[in-house]
A and B are shown apart, each in its own frame.
Chain A
Amino acid sequence: MSAVQQPTVPVKSGAAGSAKFAGSDSRKYNYFDPKGRRATHYEDMTVDVQPDPKRYLLQDWIISFADGTPTYSENWTEAKSSDWHKYRSVDQEWERTHYQRQSTICGMIQNVVENGRRSGAPKRFDPAWVKILQDHLGAYKHAEFGLGTSTMQAQRYGYTQMINNAILTNSSYKIRFAQDLTLYLSEIGLDIGGFDENAGKAHWLQDPIWQGTRRAIETIGGATDFLEQYFAVNFVFEPLVGELFRSGFVMQAAASQNDFITPSVVSAAEGDYERNLANAVELFRMLVLDEAHGNHNRMLFKSWVEKHGSLALEAAHNLQPIWSQPRVKVAHFTEALELAKNRVRAIAAETDIDVRHVLEA
């Protein structure tokens, strides 16, 4: 250091680059390893916001439940991971992308329904089809709601922000769709004489056709393991019952009953599910491939497939009579169910989970 130092000239601007000094170029969040070469915006918004004593939480969790369980615990699921923080959601959602997508869907549905109603379309639906929408789509909306409330519950428990946010957006999508169906049915009900708003819930609660589905949904809601809930929603119920009914029945049958609106409304849920499924596959794949705990997890997931798979299959079979209710029959239940099972097989193949014992039973 020289004896005579230049006095510091005060920097006039607070803008990046207006002075050079140690750290003045450090313009990236630097406390986590990005999954790819560079951190994505989603990673910057998400990683490490929920802290962890194993990473940066110096003082550990500072409040606990009465039994000593800390604010977040790895024991809230039977599944085990060597590093929960490795998980990144596939859809990379943060608030902006989430609201953009949800809002676009709301706008799309509103347009379709408004235009359809303006042209008098609901009045031209086949009467037998109207009754199906009223009773069965009306019942099914409650199943979607149940998936939404289960995932809402589950988003409290994950060990990282990435896991919890993926489950949170899953919940948001499901609850939006349950509401979409509710309001859609209410609106076409205004155009169709004698449409009974309340029939759907009555069928949900009492119709034998729907009791298997309700039991499967309530079983997911009653699970105390949050990952079991997330698993059962996306790996079991959605493909075997949700998609079966939405794609395997409603989307296929509607056009022949003069209904071009319902498929557009329902298709949003298929788009949602593609994303939710991709996120879930990524997580369960990570757990199955875990070097220390892969086998344990695989056995655990197999037991979840057994528990929820048999309920979902029973639910699916109970729905079969619906396929013969339209006047014009296009979709075949057995084909639809086979597709649903193939979907589960495909998911299982990607995650190396054994589902044969349930599907072939």
Chain B
Amino acid sequence: MPDGISLTKITAQKGISIGEAAKRVADLGWTPSYVQEAMTFPTDYKIKKAPRDPMKQVLRSYFPMQEEKDNRVYGALDAALRGDMFRNVEPRWVEWMKLFLAIIPFPEISAARSMAMVARLAPGEELRTGFTMQMVDEFRHSTIQMNLKKWYMENYIDPAGFDITEAAFGRCYATTIGRQFAEGFVTGDAITSANIYLTVVAETAFTNTLFVAMPSEAARNGDYALPTVFLSVQSDESRHIGNGHSMLMSLINDPDNHQLIERDLRYAFWQNHAIVDAAIGVLIEYATTDRDKNKESYAELWHRWIYEDYYRTYMLPLEKYGIKIHHDDVSAAWDRMVKKNYVHKTAQFFSVGWPLNFWRIEAQTDKDFEWFEHKYPGWYAEFGDYWKWYAKLSKPGETIMTFNTETGYIYPHRCWSCMVPCLIREEIVCDEVDGKIYTYCSELCHWTHKTAFSAEYEGRSTPAMGRFSGRREWEDCYHGWDLADAITDLGFVRDDGKTLVPQPHLRFDDKEMWTLDHVRGHTLGSPLRTIRAMTPEARETHLAEYRKGFKINPLN
């Protein structure tokens, strides 16, 4: 064929550009004159017309594009099975997916719901159209993840824990942080939750750790399925980040909003750090068997994505609009990651409570120790003995760590804000709010509950702001219960009626597995109840002791 002539050129017809199409589609909206739209989700923000150009996209290119992405995902899952992926996958990794995939579908679908809240507030129909697509994306994310989880359940050696997944999510003492995360997207002030907390912070800052770091680590553990699904999910994020930024830009021009933006950025950044770094940090560092010293540690990834990309290129530029950015919060979070062992202490907490989980956690070994010490100097001195104890106590019938006076471990208080316990013991804050005593993991979590989630903020009335509610301290739910009864109530018992779903090892053999009888005879208690019952003086002494921390007794 001569140059420049092709079938498509011969048959090409005049069309409309994507920009033009997006403009016409945006013109579908109108300002009602007979009945106003119901504004059922309140906000204290004032929203003006958007000055920014939102993303250009229309559904007729969106749906085929997404279907194509789906085809690649499902094709890859089939290929993974044909390639016998599960023969070579690392069980240590897949076990932790029982936790991760129990949590994540609910935050995803909550993001879909939250689009209803911002859509009604969106200044301009182009942005509202963007929120519509995000709503459908999030429906995609939630169900594609449920599908992946089912696929693991069908093909992995130990399906227990996957089989009870959504029930376990609602009950487990570790998944409670995921519920705080998800409810934060949809409850309270519509802009605080659906724009700042969800999009401006969680999606813009933290999805890289979730959806890029997790896939890399999965692949290193022989899991090729998770990367396919999660990179596909991640490919939707740039649109979401664009939507969120447009919305933020429509708020930021009104100085009246600045105080609230400042409040919400603080709350959202800190709580995302507390929750996401706890959960994903542990998965990246402890669910893996890959101890290549050349790969980046979670702390290094954090520095690149959160510090360099997010803080320097997203948060700092907001200063020129007059928003006060709390630089100290970012460096405090960084210090908690690298100097105060936040991730390692969370791993310790998740594993110390293994009988109340619904997946297997095996002990870290010498090979792991070496890597940790290389990446986090000083790690071995603080955590080496702990994991040796953990390995020793993994045999059925040993006294588990929490109730084993020989080990020196002391069970922590819970943070009333982020729901992660007060693991950096010197940072615990204890204070009274509305006449009741609470504990917090940090000064900022204290501020979040006492100052931010309140009807008034720095003298300004904030009637739309949400409140903390429910039985936020998990331990309170089983105060006074026998451990075996609590596990039964949680439903974390296998189908033989006695073997526990969780196990402190990866030995797939009945005679190595713990049963209810092995854990009976220990009584659970609520640290919050205990501290509330103390006299003020006793409480001060207790807190002073708590701040000193604990030392794991050497083994042997």
**Residues of chain A at the chain B interface (Cβ within 8 Å):** 5-6, 8, 10-11, 13-19, 21-31, 41, 44-51, 55-66, 68, 70-71, 94-96, 98-100, 102-103, 105-107, 109-110, 114, 117-118, 141-142, 145, 148-149, 152-156, 161, 164-165, 168-169, 171-172, 175-176, 178-180, 182-183, 186-187, 190-191, 197, 201, 204-205, 214-215, 218-219, 221-224
Given A14-B87, A22-B513, A102 and B63 touching (CB < 8 A)? Answer: yes
Q: Map CB proximity to A onto B127-170 as digits: 1 under 8 Å, 0 otherwise.
A: 01100100110011111101100100111111110011111111
The 6 tightest CB contacts between A and B, nearest first, are A56-B170, A23-B160, A23-B494, A222-B35, A156-B116, A103-B67
Contact status B469-A63, CB under 8 Å:
yes
Given A46-B143, A60-B471, A95-B70, A66 and B112 touching (CB < 8 A)? Answer: no
Q: Which residue of chain B is the closest to A168 with respect to CB atoms?
A: B139
Contact status A178-B167, CB under 8 Å:
no
Q: Which residue of chain B is the closest to A184 with respect to CB atoms?
A: B60
Does B84 sit within 8 A of A, measured CB to CB?
Answer: yes
Contact status A179-B59, CB under 8 Å:
yes
Q: Which of A23, A47, A145, A161 contacts B28 (CB 8 A)?
A: A145
Separation of A224 and B116 alpha carbons in the complex (Å): 13
Q: A71: which B residues are within 8 A, CB to CB?
A: 183, 186-187
Contact status A221-B183, CB under 8 Å:
no
Count of A-B residue pairs with CB < 8 Å: 358
Contact status B158-A64, CB under 8 Å:
no
Contact status B88-A14, CB under 8 Å:
yes
Q: B84: which A residues are within 8 A, CB to CB?
A: 15
Q: Which of A17, A70, A148, A190 contacts B16 (CB 8 A)?
A: A190
Most chain B CB within 10 A, of A65, A201, A214, is at A65
Q: Map CB proximity to A onto B11-40 as digits: 1 under 8 Å, 0 otherwise.
A: 101111000110011011110111111101
Q: Map CB proximity to A onto B496-538 as digits: 1 under 8 Å, 0 otherwise.
A: 1011010000011111110000000000000000000000000
Q: Which of B34, B86, B128, B167 contacts A219 (CB 8 A)?
A: B34
Q: Which of A41, A103, A221 contacts B32 (CB 8 A)?
A: A221
Does B216 sit within 8 A of A, measured CB to CB?
Answer: no
Q: A197: which B residues are within 8 A, CB to CB?
A: 24
Contact status B163-A223, CB under 8 Å:
no
Separation of A141 and B66 alpha carbons in the complex (Å): 24
Q: A99: which B residues are within 8 A, CB to CB?
A: 63, 66-67, 70, 140
Contact status B508-A64, CB under 8 Å:
no
Q: Which residue of chain B is the closest to A175 with respect to CB atoms?
A: B132
Q: A153: which B residues are within 8 A, CB to CB?
A: 37-38, 40, 116, 119-120
Q: Which residue of chain B is the closest to A47 with respect to CB atoms?
A: B166
Separation of A219 and B33 alpha carbons in the complex (Å): 10
Q: B64: which A residues are within 8 A, CB to CB?
A: 103, 106-107
Contact status A16-B155, CB under 8 Å:
yes
Q: How far is the CB of B365 from chain A (nearest CB, A)?
A: 13
Contact status A56-B59, CB under 8 Å:
no
Q: Could you say which interface size class chain B belongs to?
A: 35 or more
Q: List 16 A-B contacts (CB under 8 A).
A: A13-B86, A19-B509, A24-B159, A31-B167, A49-B106, A56-B166, A60-B469, A62-B472, A96-B74, A153-B37, A155-B116, A164-B113, A168-B139, A175-B129, A176-B60, A178-B28
Q: Which of A13, A23, A107 contacts B159 (CB 8 A)?
A: A23
Does B546 sit within 8 A of A, measured CB to CB?
Answer: no
Q: Which of B455-475 contact A (CB under 8 A)?
A: 455, 463-472, 474
Q: A14: which B residues are within 8 A, CB to CB?
A: 86-91, 94, 156-157, 222
Contact status A219-B21, CB under 8 Å:
no
Q: A222: which B residues are within 8 A, CB to CB?
A: 32, 35-38
Contact status A152-B135, CB under 8 Å:
yes
Given A21-B513, A58-B171, A183-B16, A110 and B60 touching (CB < 8 A)? Answer: yes
Does B105 sit within 8 A of A, measured CB to CB?
Answer: yes
Contact status B154-A27, CB under 8 Å:
yes
Contact status B13-A61, CB under 8 Å:
no
With A29-B166, A44-B150, A106-B63 known, 12 other A-B pairs at CB within 8 A are: A16-B157, A49-B166, A56-B167, A57-B179, A62-B183, A65-B466, A152-B115, A155-B112, A175-B129, A179-B58, A190-B14, A215-B34
Given A23-B159, A222-B37, A94 and B86 touching (CB < 8 A)? Answer: no
Given A99-B70, A152-B119, A114 and B13 touching (CB < 8 A)? Answer: yes
Q: B510: which A residues are within 8 A, CB to CB?
A: 21-22
Does B338 sit within 8 A of A, measured CB to CB?
Answer: no
Given A27-B154, A62-B179, A22 and B469 touching (CB < 8 A)? Answer: no
Contact status B25-A183, CB under 8 Å:
yes
Q: Which residue of chain B is the closest to A219 with respect to CB atoms?
A: B35
Q: How far is the CB of B506 from chain A (nearest CB, A)?
A: 8
Q: B513: which A residues are within 8 A, CB to CB?
A: 21-22
Does B495 sit within 8 A of A, measured CB to CB?
Answer: yes
Q: How far is the CB of A107 from chain B (nearest CB, A)?
A: 7
Separation of A28 and B471 alpha carbons in the complex (Å): 30
Contact status A95-B494, CB under 8 Å:
no
Q: Which of B24, B105, B112, B146 contacts A183 (CB 8 A)?
A: B24
Separation of A179 and B87 alpha carbons in the complex (Å): 47
Q: A41: which B residues are within 8 A, CB to CB?
A: 147
Q: A28: which B residues are within 8 A, CB to CB?
A: 153, 163
Separation of A48 and B167 alpha carbons in the complex (Å): 8
Contact status A201-B38, CB under 8 Å:
no
Q: B24: which A residues are within 8 A, CB to CB?
A: 182-183, 186, 197
Does B355 sit within 8 A of A, measured CB to CB?
Answer: no
Q: How far is the CB of B184 from chain A (nearest CB, A)?
A: 6
Q: B170: which A residues are within 8 A, CB to CB?
A: 48, 51, 55-58
Q: B154: which A residues are within 8 A, CB to CB?
A: 16, 27
